[in-house]
Amino acid sequence: MGTRRLRVAAQFAAVGAALAASLTACSSGGGQPSNVITVSSAQCGGGWSVPGPGWHTIQISNQGTGGAEIDLVDPANGAVYAEIENTGPGTVNPIDIDFGSGKYALLCLFSDYGPLQGPVVTVAGHAAGTPAVLPITYNQLIPLAKTYAGQEETAIKVMASETATLAAAVRSGSLTTARRDWLTAHLQYESLGDAYDAFGNFDTEIDGRADPVGVTSPQWTGFFRLEYGLWHGQSLASLAPVASTLNRYVDQLVTWWPTQEVPLADLGRRAHEVIENALEFQLTGHDDYGSGTTLASTLAAITASRVLLGLLHPLLAPRYPELPAVYSALSLLQSLLEKERLANGWWVPVSALPSATRQAIDAACGQVLQELAPIASITEPRNTANEF
């Protein structure tokens, strides 16, 4: 097997005092740096140069009349070395990178203007520098977002049938069946990857925590409310309306979801956000309202993350050298969690885990998150010279 990696990525290697010295030299004392490059909607940097390979700072002065995004790109293929996302008119912002031997150009993306690429600057020699990342465009992400929305729609419909079954089980009066059906439906919900308001207010109604209102409040609805009742001796008769309401909200979600657009930047972000959420609410035991199934919910979050990774894989593979480490870290976490599944289909509650087991799971989850972290940056949709 591959050895787990403790470090995130080679490009995170720190550089020492040599860099500090270099930057100091480049930005010369006395306030105004000597290497200011002026950009506007009419001209994306005149002639500029760097002394040679190595760490240098260039200062980009926006003399245009509006805001702009300024990228430093490889003119051959549009790969991005560095970017300033928002530079206001009249401001000066630095770009500092390790210039390698090769060709560089500024790309100016002024609001209300087409993309403008500046002159090509050649750095001589045979030195390697900061690598450029091929930008991912809106057009590349749109079909993925559509596919994702479709998969989610299918999964939401599955959940709707499961919550209908759950509501019927609660009405029928069998606690055993109701609990089992609750787990099936709830894990389906957790595997949808609803991190950070992907479902708007529905998340509060379908999977809201007791925290803001308290466990006795009639305002508390959804899966956790039902879990609390099913595992705290509340009568099934009293829970039947709770289950029906849950089913009704899920039906509404089925109708609402197709009217929504998935923000393109969410695809990459959500891949780690769902695991961040699991660490905060599931592995801590916070979201255990009695069933002791937060480890299963964590597995569901892994499923959600893998769906997104699967969609993004063709874009990530050529851009993220550590991608295999993401998968091996996920597999390790998954295998540790699956060991805690009991023969009867239920789960060891987080609070009952031996300390060493819990630490192993937490450490594996931390490693997953560290490996996932770059994906949101890499898959952020970017404007290019050809697509704007």
Partner 1 sequence: MSSDTPEPTAAPGPARRSFLRGMAGGVAGGVIAGGAAGAAAGYAYRGAPADPAAAANAAVAGGRLPAVPFHGKYQAGILPESSRATAVVSFEATAANRAELTDLFQTVTDRARFLTAGGTPPPVGIDGPPSDSGVLGPTVVPDGLTVTFGVGSTLFDDRYGLAAVRPVHLTPMTSFPNDDLDPAQCGGDLILQLSAGNADTVIHALRDIAKNTRGGMQINWRIDGFASPARPAGTVPRNLMGFMDGIANPSVTSAPQLDSLVWVDPSTSREPSWTAGGSYLVVRLIRMFVEFWDRVDIEEQETMIGRRRATGFPLDADSLYATPDYANDPTGDVIPLTAHMRLANPRTPQSASSQILRRAYNYDRGIDQVGDLDMGLIFTCFQQDIGRQFATVQTRLIGEPLIDYISPFGGGYFLALPGVSGPSDYYGRALLA
Which residues between 331 and 370 bind partner 1 (CB under 8 A)?
Answer: 331-332, 355-356, 359-360, 362-364, 366-367, 369-370
Q: Which residue is it, tokens 């700072």? A: 57
Does 293 help bind partner 1 (rule: CB under 8 A)? no
Does 273 help bind partner 1 (rule: CB under 8 A)? no
Does 38 help bind partner 1 (rule: CB under 8 A)? no
Residues 6+ apart with CB under 8 A from 47: 119
Cα-based angle 3, 362, 343 (whole degrees, multiple of 5): 95
Does 307 help bind partner 1 (rule: CB under 8 A)? yes
Question: Smallest distance from the beta carbon of 131 to partner 1, in angstroms?
Answer: 7
The correct pick among 25, 50, 80, 175 for binding partner 1 (CB under 8 A) is 80
Strands 92-99 and 80-87: unpaired
- Which positions from 163 to 202 touch partner 1 by CB under 8 A, shown as an x/- string? -------------------------x--xx----------
Nearest to 166 by CA among 153, 157, 156, 177: 177
Nearest to 130 by CA among 31, 55, 224: 55
Amino acid code (one letter) for 108: C
The correct pick among 319, 340, 347, 353 for binding partner 1 (CB under 8 A) is 319
In the complex with partner 1, the residue whose CB is nearer, 131 or 290, is 131
Q: Which residue is it, tokens 């899920």? A: 250
Please state, in angstroms and rounded to a whole number, the distance separating the CA atoms of residues 86 and 93. 10
Q: Which two tokens stand for residue 261?
A: 């657009």
In the complex with partner 1, the residue whose CB is nearer, 2 or 51, is 2
Question: Smallest distance from the beta carbon of 216 to partner 1, in angstroms?
Answer: 26
Cβ pair 227, 289 in contact under 8 A: yes
CA 169 to chain centre: 36
CA 369 to chain centre: 10
Nearest to 311 by CA among 136, 108, 180: 136
Give the binding-site size for partner 1 (rule: CB under 8 A): 74
Question: Smallest distance from the beta carbon of 73 to partner 1, in angstroms?
Answer: 11
The correct pick among 43, 63, 130, 204 for binding partner 1 (CB under 8 A) is 130
Does 329 help bind partner 1 (rule: CB under 8 A)? yes
Please state, in angstroms and rounded to a whole number, the distance separating the CA atoms of residues 106 and 109. 10
In the complex with partner 1, the residue whose CB is nearer, 239 or 250, is 250
The correct pick among 151, 165, 177, 334 for binding partner 1 (CB under 8 A) is 151
Does 386 help bind partner 1 (rule: CB under 8 A)? no
Q: Which two tokens stand for residue 158?
A: 């599955």
The correct pick among 248, 310, 346, 387 for binding partner 1 (CB under 8 A) is 310
In the complex with partner 1, the residue whose CB is nearer, 42 or 76, is 76
The correct pick among 10, 124, 342, 343 for binding partner 1 (CB under 8 A) is 10
Q: How many angstroms separate the first and last alpha carbons of the chain? A: 44
Does 6 help bind partner 1 (rule: CB under 8 A)? yes
Cβ pair 72, 104 in contact under 8 A: yes
In the range 94-123, which residues lie near partner 1 by CB under 8 A? 96-98
Does 13 help bind partner 1 (rule: CB under 8 A)? yes
In the range 231-260, which residues lie near partner 1 by CB under 8 A? none
Does 387 help bind partner 1 (rule: CB under 8 A)? no
- Using CB under 8 A, which of the segments 31-39, 205-213, 288-296, 320-328 binds partner 1? 320-328
DSSP per position, 301-350: HHHHHHHHHHHHHHHHTTT-TTHHHHHHHHHHHHHHHHTTB-TTS-B--G
